[in-house]
Structure 1
Amino acid sequence: MSVLAVLDPAVAVAHAAVAALAHVVPTALAIVLFVLVVRLSLHPLARAAARGEKARSKLAPKIAELNRKHKDRPEKLREAMAELYRKEQVSPVAGCLPVLVQIPFFSVMYRLFTTPNDLLDHTLFGVPLGLHVGNAHGAGQVAVFAVLYAGLAAVGYVNYRRARRAAAAQTTPQPGAALLPYLSFGSVFFALLVPVAAALYLLTTSVWSATERAWLYRGVPAPAAALAV
């Protein structure tokens, strides 16, 4: 059994949920509503991740001091760091596990909106949800893709600016940190490779993520790496 096949039962459930919504509202709107419901159900995990990141951020000055103090003694540095985390009751990977737990959910939604199925036969303003930009023709179809890409670019820019601020606020620069903010635009380029339904999913979940991070990290710089996802 392939890795993707493992997701089939979950994809079938997601398909049934979107199809049920599509009996009440247009399929494109059903996709948006479905994504919002899933993201809302995952919000507690996002809150847990934010709490972990904030806890680690508070330790940043102490960690920087330990790095300066023991920069030539790696073994002593590891011991001092372990003692600091133990004393503050903070995990060095705080905030990472909730993010990892969300990955299967996003994988299911991605597969649902990129694998050919009856949902993709419906349309968004007359444009088939299964259409790729390379096959678009006519001003109407091109306009729909342009609006989706413009929306993703706008969200990417917001995340880019926030990630730049987060990177600048780091007391200990990390390797490659200067490049992380530019990954905020990754969804725009990825959207060029997927059909309308998946691009609509990307835009919906990206808007949710940007809004959620702005709320959860209000007054505190969100981690640059998280913003780039």
Structure 2
Amino acid sequence: MDPTSIAPVRAVLDGLSQLVVGLADLIHPLAGASATGVAVILLTLVVRAVLVPVGVAQVRAEIQRLRIAPALAELRRRHAGKPEQMSRAVQELYAREGASPLAGCLPTLAQAPVLAAVYTLFAHARIGGEANALLAAPFAGLPLGSNALAAAGMGVAPLVVSLVVLGLLAVVIEVRRRADLRFQGPPAAADPALPGMAGMTAMTRVLPFVTVVFAGVAPLAAALYLLSSAAWTLLERAALRRLLGRARATGTAPA
């Protein structure tokens, strides 16, 4: 059974398709043949603008975690080898400080349905039994339904477009990683009492770039979404960390 034929899924995809087409028609005089791809970027910005309050909550939770990090590290050292006691102590610490270890996951979870819808819209040749005309729409000469692997067989120009998108995504991810390190401070040395910490630290350096791999095999439309969303996150976090961090330092709440 084609999942895109399920009524709620079909309704979402039809609405998203109409929104993309409407945006593309609106900006066609400026964007020309690449209007549909630009519309995907604009859709991303609209979604992220709606999610700004969630981003604020995420940065506030991040600042809270930094504040309780020393106490958390002490609890982990004290209860090393006693997972039940450590889990209970950590939960009590979070409750006492009014923090949540899951607060930082909200933006990712909130964006996931939109990304899944964009991916589905541009990954299926037929939606609800009808041809998906958006797949043929180009962005800088490369069809939005194509990925980097397909672009490699289309000639130099399409491959360059795909590599530029992936390269920009990698740069944004690395800049964000470095910004996170500066904000959070240098990572603590691996504690001998906590086996596997060195490996986890190495994984945190590599895991963000899995997004680039995903973008390489995903349709170009999904890659554009990922790039636009990552760039927004970089700029949003820089602004919110500056604003909320300054408010915390002065003991005032931002307007």
Q: Return the match for 1:122 from 137, 147, 153.
A: 137
Q: Contact 2:37/2:138 (CA < 8 Å) preserved in 1?
A: yes
Q: Which residue of 2 aligns with 1:62?
A: 71
Deviations 1:3-36 (A, max 9, x none): 7756443222211111111111221211111111
Q: Which residue of 2 aligns with 1:22?
A: 24
Which has the higher mean CA deviation after the structures are superposed, 42-51 or 209-218? 209-218
What amino acid maps onto 2:172 in structure 1?
A: V
Who wins on radius of gyration, i.e. which is larger? 2
Q: Contact 1:49/1:97 (CA < 8 Å) preserved in 2?
A: yes
Q: Which residue of 1 aligns with 2:252?
A: none
CA distance in 1, matches of 2:42, 2:69: 39
The two structures, once aligned, show a CA RMSD in angstroms of 3.0
What amino acid maps onto 2:158 in structure 1?
A: Q
Number of residue-to-residue matches in the alignment: 220
Q: Contact 1:18/1:30 (CA < 8 Å) preserved in 2?
A: yes
Deviations 1:141-166 (A, max 9, x none): 22212221221221132134345555
Q: Contact 1:161/1:181 (CA < 8 Å) preserved in 2?
A: no
Q: Which residue of 2 aligns with 1:81?
A: 90
What amino acid maps onto 2:186 in structure 1?
A: A
CA distance in 2, matches of 1:79, 1:129: 49
State how 1:44-193 maps to structure 2 within 5 Å. 44-71=53-80, 74-116=83-125, 117-136=132-151, 137-162=154-179, 166=184, 168-170=186-188, 174=197, 176-193=200-217
Give the superposition deviation at 1:76.
4.6
Q: 2:207 aligns to what SS in structure 1? A: helix
CA distance in 2, matches of 1:193, 1:46: 28
- Alpha-carbon distance change, 154 to 163 in structure 1, aligned in 2, over 3 angstroms: same
CA distance in 2, matches of 1:159, 1:100: 19
- 1:35 pairs with 2:44: yes
- Alpha-carbon distance change, 142 to 53 in structure 1, aligned in 2, over 3 angstroms: same
Identity of aligned residues (%): 37
CA distance in 1, matches of 2:108, 2:150: 35
The gaps in structure 2 that reach 5 residues or longer are: 28-34, 126-131, 192-196, 246-255
CA distance in 2, matches of 1:27, 1:183: 30
What amino acid maps onto 1:199 in structure 2?
A: A
Give the superposition deviation at 1:171.
7.5
Q: Which residue of 1 aligns with 2:230?
A: 206
Give the superposition deviation at 1:110.
2.3
CA distance in 1, matches of 2:104, 2:142: 40
CA distance in 1, matches of 2:82, 2:140: 63
Q: Contact 1:191/1:199 (CA < 8 Å) preserved in 2?
A: yes
Q: Return the match for 1:9 from 8, 11, 17.
A: 11
CA distance in 1, matches of 2:133, 2:120: 14
CA distance in 2, matches of 1:146, 1:92: 36
CA distance in 2, matches of 1:131, 1:111: 13
Which has the higher mean CA deviation after the structures are superposed, 135-144 or 159-168? 159-168
- Alpha-carbon distance change, 181 to 3 in structure 1, aligned in 2, over 3 angstroms: farther
CA distance in 1, matches of 2:237, 2:80: 34
Give the superposition deviation at 1:42.
1.4
Q: Contact 1:56/1:94 (CA < 8 Å) preserved in 2?
A: no
